[in-house]
Amino acid sequence: MSNKVKEIAIIPNLTKDCDFSATNKIAELAYNNGVCALIDNEYAKKVQYAKGASSEQLNNADLIVVLGGDGTLLSAVHRFSDTKASFLGINYGNLGFLTEIEKDMPEQFVEILKGNFGVSEHLTIDVTLNGETYTALNDATLHRDAVSSTIKFSVAVGEEHLYSSTADGIIVATPTGSTAYSLSAGGPIVDPTIDAVILSLICPHDLNSRSVIVPKEKEITLTVTNAVGNAVLNVDGRIAVNVKNGDVLTINAGKKVKLVRTSDSFFYKRLKQKLF
């Protein structure tokens, strides 16, 4: 696409950019290219070329520019869950599957400011437990707590009971999250533009277990039948909720998150760089 950006919201990682030097560089690049840079009001005095803004004003920017790794980008997606903006991740972390450009690529950032970028829409999942709904871009994990040995639960897809399992837990991942925890548990790598949900068991007692890929239209139901102590629902590694015996979790496809992409083959290039 070519649609020049007028306003960006900058979300820094205060651990990796404690002196705001990286944030200042990004704000200066925006300023020099006629783009208004916004920053949280509390950091405004530390960033010369950015204007202080409220969360609502940040939410309404054309782009939300996140400085950090995948974890920082996930935090921003949760914070601005109702934004219409696209997220641009600039990698100051390690793996960077969600981020688009590296910290030493100012030319690419300037091209994005000029509107020379595309947008990739990534599926989220909504997990409902005891009347509360939690949204994940990467994954939702039902797992044993620190004192439990294993948990027992059943899995249904639509109206069909799929299996019952005794395991350390189960990962319900989006294609975006297929290269995260799900991959470590033996799950498949799935192109993030595919609309599907991946079920992967964690250390199951049944050695014949396999991951299952479910179309987004199907509702998934997890029922905890036996847990020594409590089980835990973990959402994107950021939200933890206790789960008790008899609790039922329902998982449905959620809305899509827009991520800035500069290449149609981004995912496969990143796979080659990071995994192969």
In the chain, the domains with their CATH numbers are: 7-116 (3.40.50.10330), 124-255 (2.60.200.30)
- The two tokens of residue 5 are 């950006």
Q: Is 70 a catalytic residue?
A: yes
Sole residue written with tokens 């509390």: 42
List 17, 40, 62, 70, catalytic entry: 70
Q: What pLDDT score does 148 carry?
A: 66
Q: What is the sign, positive or negative, of the torsion defined by CA atoms of 71, 191, 85, 125?
A: negative
pLDDT in tens, 156-204: 999 999 999 999 999 999 999 999 999 999 999 999 989 999 999 999 9
Q: What is the sign, positive or negative, of the torsion defined by CA atoms of 161, 138, 81, 265?
A: negative
What confidence category does residue 249 fall into, taking pLDDT thresholds of 50, 70 and 90? very high
Length, in residues, of the chain: 276
Alpha helices in 114-259 (DSSP H): 181-184
pTM: 0.91
Rounded Cα distance between 232 and 250, Å, is: 15
When mean pLDDT is compared across 4-8, 90-94, 100-104, 167-171, the lowest value belongs to 90-94
Q: Which helix (H) or strand (E) holds 242?
A: strand 239-243
When mean pLDDT is compared across 23-27, 33-37, 101-105, 167-171, the lowest value belongs to 101-105
- The two tokens of residue 20 are 């705001």
The residue among 256, 224, 222 whose CA lies nearest residue 136 is 256
Pairing of strands 63-68, 86-91: parallel
Rounded Cα distance between 134 and 122, Å, is: 16
Q: Give residue 125's Cα distance to chain centre.
A: 10
Label residue 217 exposed, middle or buried (CB < 10 Å: 0-12, 13-18, 19+). Answer: exposed
| Backbone region of residue 152 per phi and psi (left: phi > 0; alpha: psi in -120 to 50; beta: other values) | beta
Rounded Cα distance between 105 and 91, Å, is: 10
